[in-house]
Structures are given as C-alpha cells and as structure tokens.
C-alpha cells in the first residue's frame, strides 16, 4: 500500500467515527428535548396578558430573575433570546417566547397565551385572531419582483 492510500484510510476511519459519535449525541439530545417538552406540557396554563414590548435581547439584559440567569449555561448567556414584556394581572413580567411564535405576538394588544413558567409556548387573540405583521421587503426582493413583473414571470413568495 502506498502512503496516499494509508492517509485516505485514516481519514475515512476518522470520518466514520465522527458520524457514529454525532449519531449517538443526536439521539441523546433528542431524548432530552422530548423529556423537556413533556415537562413544559405538564406545567402549561392559559393566561390573558397585555403585551407591552417584545425584543431579542441578551439574557443578562432581559430583566429575567437572577435565578434564571444563574441557571443558564455560560455559553448561552451571550446569545439573544426572544423576550416579551407583558402585564399579567397587576404585575409586569419579562417572559421568554418560543422562537416559532415570536413574530406572531402582537405588541400593545391583549392576548391569551399558553405559558409554562416563564416560557410562552402559544398565543391566541383575546378579541379575534392574532394578525401576523408583514415584514418589510428588502431592496433586493423589491427589485427582483419589479423585474419579474415586467418580464411576465410569476413573483416569488
């Protein structure tokens, strides 16, 4: 066997070992996530609240309780979370929203939210449906649509 074949076999062995390790780590993370989802579902309750503000903020600037900040891993403290400031009953609270529903939360509106601890998992309009805000189209998207409109092609969504 020549040296390039040996090098190729070593690289192949390392790649196979990495794929196997990632497979088992993925299964472990999937089980952990399923267990956390069960806990969230067991603790959820519906609450009516007035949404004051919503932003993506670093956890240390979010206004969450210090106990929550201390429990988060060090690597997560620098990442931005979807934070919702809402008036629940007589008190104003900072809550963490699910990424999937963050864009559909209306600001300065009263909503019924499914809450699990300080985590908002779902939002429904108190009076009618929750209207999703339309994002502004960027310069490139507007220009592309104008060109397609002039050419007679279907516009992209």
Using the predicted structure, report yes or no on whether residue 157 has a pLDDT greater than 60. Answer: no
3-state secondary structure string, 78-123? HCEEEEEEEEECCEEEEEEECCCCHHHCCCCCEEEEEEECCEEEEE
Residue 135 confidence (pLDDT): 67
Using the predicted structure, report yes or no on whether residue 118 has a pLDDT greater than 70. Answer: yes
Distance CA 102, CA 127 (A): 19
Residue 64 confidence (pLDDT): 86
Sign of CA pseudo-dihedral 27, 30, 36, 40? negative
Selected residue with higher pLDDT from 135 and 22: 22
80-89 confidence digits (pLDDT tens): 999 999 999 8
CB 126 within 8 A of CB 95: no
3-class SS at 2?
coil
Selected residue with higher pLDDT from 137 and 82: 82
Lowest-pLDDT range, 56-65, 71-80, 131-140, 144-153?
A: 131-140
Distance CA 29, CA 65 (A): 27
59-107 confidence digits (pLDDT tens): 888 888 888 888 888 888 888 999 999 999 899 999 999 888 998 888 8
For the ranges 13-17, 39-43, 129-133, the one whose mean pLDDT is highest = 13-17
Residue 14 confidence (pLDDT): 97
Distance CA 12, CA 16 (A): 6
7-35 confidence digits (pLDDT tens): 999 999 999 999 999 999 999 999 999 99
């Amino acid at each position: 066997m020549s040296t390039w074949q040996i090098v190729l076999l070593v690289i192949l062995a390392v790649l196979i070992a990495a794929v196997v390790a990632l497979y088992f780590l993925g299964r472990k993370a999937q089980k952990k996530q399923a267990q956390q989802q069960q806990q969230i579902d067991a603790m959820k309750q519906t609450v009516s609240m007035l949404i004051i503000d919503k932003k993506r903020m670093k956890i240390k600037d979010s206004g969450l309780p210090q106990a929550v900040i201390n429990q988060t891993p060090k690597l997560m403290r620098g990442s931005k979370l979807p934070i919702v400031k809402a008036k629940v009953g007589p008190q104003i609270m900072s809550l963490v929203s699910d990424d999937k529903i963050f864009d559909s939360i209306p600001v300065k509106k009263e909503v019924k939210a499914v809450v699990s601890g300080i985590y908002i998992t779902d939002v429904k309009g108190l009076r009618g449906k929750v209207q999703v805000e339309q994002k502004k189209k960027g310069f490139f998207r507007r220009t592309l649509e104008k060109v397609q409109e002039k050419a007679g092609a279907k516009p992209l969504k």
